[in-house]
């Protein structure tokens, strides 16, 4: 069993990131899906061996990857910010890309709206946003063998 904490669209809200440190500490992996990947540096400094950073459309300093395919236990996960797949207009493009890459799960941000949705055989997750003046949400994803179970959590 692997525990993954996924955040996105932090937009400079370092205090929200720091509130998640206890959860990051118990996680096997941490993924920041961009906007702003420089905020992800706060996470990477504290948890260097288990942090993955992705670039978003607002990231002037490209400190991460544009896309990642991550093998966790017996499944592959596709991760990106989501803007290049038009996720504000629909989810077919990102689901198709994940399927094309042999992934069962796709992680993305960009919309600031948390979702869990299945398109075809792909489970899509958007952790929402940790930006200031918004309901702060993140994704807690557990992978056991070839199954992934996620929960959108609200940061209090």
- Could you give the domains of the chain? 2-154 (3.60.21.10)
pTM of the full structure: 0.97
**Rounded CA separation 46/42 (Å):** 7
Greatest CA span in the chain, whole angstroms? 38
The 3-state DSSP class for residue 8 equals: coil
**Rounded CA separation 91/155 (Å):** 26
Q: What is the pLDDT of residues 36-92, one digit of tens each?
A: 877 888 999 999 999 999 999 998 888 899 999 999 999 999 999 999 999 999 999
Q: What is the pLDDT of residues 128-142, one digit of tens each?
A: 999 988 999 999 999
CA atoms within 13 A on the CB side of 38: 9
């Amino acid at each position: 069993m692997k525990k993954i904490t996924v955040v996105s669209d932090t937009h400079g809200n370092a205090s929200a990131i720091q509130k998640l440190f206890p959860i990051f500490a118990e996680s096997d992996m941490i993924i920041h899906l961009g906007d702003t990947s420089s905020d992800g540096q706060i996470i990477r400094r504290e948890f260097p061996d288990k942090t993955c950073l992705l670039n978003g459309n607002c990231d002037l300093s490209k400190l991460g990857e544009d896309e990642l395919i991550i093998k966790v236990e017996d499944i592959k996960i596709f991760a990106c910010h989501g803007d290049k797949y038009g996720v504000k207009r629909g989810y077919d493009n990102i689901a198709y890309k994940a399927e094309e890459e042999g992934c069962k799960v796709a992680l993305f941000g960009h919309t600031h709206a948390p979702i869990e949705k299945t398109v075809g055989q792909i489970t899509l997750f958007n952790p929402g946003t940790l930006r200031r003046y918004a309901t702060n949400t993140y994704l807690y994803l557990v992978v056991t063998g070839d199954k992934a179970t996620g929960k959108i959590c609200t940061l209090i």
